[in-house]
Structure 1
């Protein structure tokens, strides 16, 4: 398979010196799509290691946490004719899940939401056949013993899933996990290029105990109640940087917080997550402060900051400004992310949802 992602990123670096052939032109995305699921470049080996996931679409999480080396994560999404695959790489120095299977969200785990229905039923308020809600965890206690279960009492809890596979690996810095969900469980859905469905992936963190934090890729705790909280995603052959005008907010999430503990006089903090495929491509991140009419009144360069294991794939961009510089409720912020060529990759705003259980970071 042609390495479309690699070619696309090269175009961003070398600019107009390289011509894009028609065969590389991205297929337009369906209206309302917020994310992608990229075609697996080869057979996915369910070994709990994300070796074949470098070309997959990624949604970073929790890069703004007060302890990112113990919380930040990357969800990846791939597909083939057989199944949907979800990859997770998480920094976590206190790994465990002490909960029984039916409440395995109560520790280090993933709470996963999926809606494969079509037409007006997709992302509707109610859970009906074709929309499911499940949990999976790499751990049983402190041991790597992957397990999963359909949630009871909500969603289509009477569905019997077949062919599910889960695998995980870990080290002192964190863990990786692969989850395989065969399409055969959803006979009304046809996996093909351009197909649209909805999902949400919630990272549950337990810090060695029960759940202390939860963070969502697309929605919020509302995803538990109704599929309408999920994000539409589309099956594509490969990720193309031109898609960032649409899926950039999921690829480069942006948070604005006032941390509860600070070593200096009070500051506001803006954090932009840089997905791993773009850590060598992004040349500039600037936080733009707007007045309430939308006018940019100040631009603040953000500093690129690797974190986690040395030479690892976790990078964020951080900007800070005095809490007195702009009074609360008199401004909003956006982040512009540009390639080393200067080309804008995407411009994003903070998400207007309560996407975490623990506030204050």
Structure 2
């Protein structure tokens, strides 16, 4: 097989041993003579996988006992709408923290549902830094505060989380869930598409406090109602069986590699290596995020001009690097170093970056 270094922003790299296990079990899952692609979601085999995956998430993330763990579909984009449909009741407002493209998109969906206010924003800074959320002022009658903990396009990440004074805190953790230790008791609802750190595309993890479920209006359609999905154990309709099965294997891989604590340690080493390469380039590479807001998941940078950015992408692809072109709306360079990206991949990338600097600097 040709050597490939996968730095895609999502769907992202999966652990090699997980892919190998999927390959081995694809035609015969646990001696059933059936593929995981064709088993019933009502079968005992799948019920075991389903329940075990929920329990693994509880253990790895230390999820409070008063929270439900749901497996939904539609990715974070569907959650942009589901959150206000379920929580933004008439007569209340929702407060949004704007830190980049995805938090802005979430706010735009909420605007279609009810009244929204901006609690904090770094838009004036072109989202190079995350806004300061210490001492965030929110009306006590607000329905919730929403934030995006890691912005994949800007390459920024929150290190601190607000204390909204009893107002429910909602977080889109699509790109950094399971990548670092976080006190989950700080949040009332967390959602994350799995395709960054937890598995493949097709399943969305939602963690929600039970007391929020009780206040959801009866007018919310069942398929978009968190309470309905919780009451049915995420089996209200056919779940994304194959995706959840792979999440199960990825969570076991995380547990074998020291849990979230061990994963975070490795992620910090990778990020420090890449940022050091940028910072020591004599200005040839420019980091796009403010130093105090730099993401541990998405390292964004650029060369002195667009021509060399394009050349960097072309040459990197010839050397087996995949996914280093920035988001189509941003036009920079980006290395997404999610959990399954190895330190050896980042060492290879930094060697290429130094070589490129020597030739074109």
Q: Calculate the TM-score normalised by the size of structure 1.
A: 0.23
Relative to its length, the structure with more helix (as a share) is 2
Relative contact order: is structure 1 or structure 2 higher (C-alpha 8 Å, sep ≥ 6)? Answer: 2
